[in-house]
Amino acid sequence: MTLSATPVPILTDNYAWLLRDSNTGATAIVDPADAAPVIEAIEKAGGRLDAILLTHHHADHTAGTDEVRSRFNCPVIGAAADRHRLPKLDDAVKDGDEVRLGDAVGRVIETPGHTRGQINFFFPDGDILLSGDTLFSLGCGRLLEGTAEEMFDSLRKLAALPGDTQVCCGHEYTESNARFALSVDPDNKALHAFVAKVEQLRAAGQPSVPSVLAEELQVNPFLRAPDAASFAAVRAKKDKF
């Protein structure tokens, strides 16, 4: 395990993620929507940046990209499907493509639902999933451009990854997601224990993420939905919660 992922809190409740391969020192940043704190985090980690990875086109994930790129002069990698509305891409990727960072090799997983071109990056070395606005801890992204069926299938793809996978998502939404999760799944003991841990972390000023996929499968009401129709019902309920 040479790859590590560290959250960089930006904007109101977003996370950019700093990836570092300890074998080679290769470093990448995921979703650098605010250049100043991201550049500071990169400088602190050694001042090297090998790549910028983008999960989707929303401004709260992309806005700082050009400034960070010009500072470190590194390639930007994002979804081919959305290249017309992403910052200029040097590497336009699609489902199954490889992304290299030093000795670590990641895989692109397309998950339409929140946006049509949303992608995730999964690095088996370090069991790291960059899930953007598809999978949150205790939640999932809103269906802004896709159907419930698409999002259900997308979440199924992520749920099939190894249980040890660290879910590195794009937002610190866990506490508010917890209120909803408890309302629809009040008798879930694992959920209560999970929420207690989250509250402790947040009270101590710590990020609640990454979470571990095997735990999310037990507590996340969107991953627990057995079929697309039940998923659609839970998603609709959350939209009005």
Question: Active-site residues: which are they?
Answer: 56, 58, 60-61, 114, 133, 171
Q: State the pairing for strand pair 51-53/76-79.
A: parallel
Does residue 31 touch Zn ion according to CB under 5 A?
A: no
What is the chain's Cα-based Rg? 17
How far, in Å, are 102, 117, 128, 219 from residue 214 at the CA level? 28, 26, 13, 9
Strand ranges across the sheet with 14-21: 3-10, 14-21, 27-30, 51-53, 76-79, 91-93
**In the complex with Fe ion, which residue's Cβ is closer, 17 or 72?**
17
**x/- track of binding to Fe ion for residues 124-153 (CB under 5 A):** ---------x--------------------
Does residue 110 touch Zn ion according to CB under 5 A?
A: no
Cα separation, 184 vs 177, in Å, equals 11
Kindly tell me which residue out of 57, 58, 69, 171 binds Zn ion, with binding defined by CB under 5 A: 58
**In the complex with Zn ion, which residue's Cβ is closer, 173 or 194?**
173
Which partner from the list Fe ion, Zn ion, none does 67 bind, CB cut-off 5 to 8 Å by kind?
A: none
CB of 48 to Fe ion, least distance (A): 27
Task: Tell me which H or E stretch contains 82.
Answer: none
The amino acid that residue 41 corresponds to is: A
**In the complex with Zn ion, which residue's Cβ is closer, 127 or 172?**
172
Which partner from the list Zn ion, Fe ion, none does 172 bind, CB cut-off 5 to 8 Å by kind?
A: none
CB of 176 to Fe ion, least distance (A): 14
| Cis, bond preceding 210 (omega within 30 deg of 0) | yes
| Site for Fe ion, residues 46 to 75, rule: CB under 5 A | 60
| Site for Zn ion, residues 127 to 156, rule: CB under 5 A | 133
Tokens found for residue 185: 């799944």
Which residues would be at the binding site for Fe ion (CB under 5 A)?
A: 60, 133
